[in-house]
Amino acid sequence: MTRISLVNDQDLVARLWATHMPEPGNVFDLWETRMCFDRSFRRPVLAVVASDGLGQTTGFLPLSWVEETAKWVYFPGETWKGKTWLEGNLIPARDPETMEALLEAIPGDAYLRYLDPMAQAFPYPGADQDEVGYLFFPERYSNNYQEYLQSFPRKTIKKLLGEMARLESRGVTYRFDSMEDAQRLLQMNLEAFGPESYFFDSRFSTGFENLLAWLKQNNLLRITTVLIEGRVAAVDVGALWRGHYSILAGGVDQEFPGVAKVINFHHLERACAEKLNCVDFLCGNFNWKERLRLIPRPLMEIRLEEQPGMVYSPVKEEEHAVSV
Rounded mean pLDDT, 7-36: 97
> For residue 263, how far is the Cα from the chain centroid?
20
Is the pLDDT assigned to residue 321 strictly greater than 70? no
Confidence of residue 309 (pLDDT cuts 50, 70, 90): low
pLDDT, tens only, 243-279: 999 999 999 998 999 999 999 999 999 999 999 999 9
Mention the CATH class of domain 138-276. alpha beta
Nearest to 189 by CA among 212, 205, 207: 205
SS3 at position 19:
helix
Instruction: Indicate where the chain has its CATH 3.40.630.30 domain(s).
Output: 138-276
Q: State residue 320's pLDDT score.
A: 43
Report the alpha-carbon distance of residue 133 to residue 136 in Å, rounded: 11
Residues with Cβ within 8 Å of residue 277, at least 6 apart in sequence: 137, 138, 139, 242, 243, 244
φ, ψ dihedrals at 306, nearest 5°: 55, 35
202-217 helix and 31-41 helix, angle to the nearest 10 degrees: 150
φ, ψ dihedrals at 85, nearest 5°: -115, -40
Residue of 164 and 307 predicted with greater confidence: 164
Mention the CATH class of domain 3-131+299-319. alpha beta
Rounded mean pLDDT, 308-313: 55
Spatial contact of 78 and 206, defined as CB atoms under 8 Å apart: no
Is the pLDDT assigned to residue 3 strictly greater than 90? yes
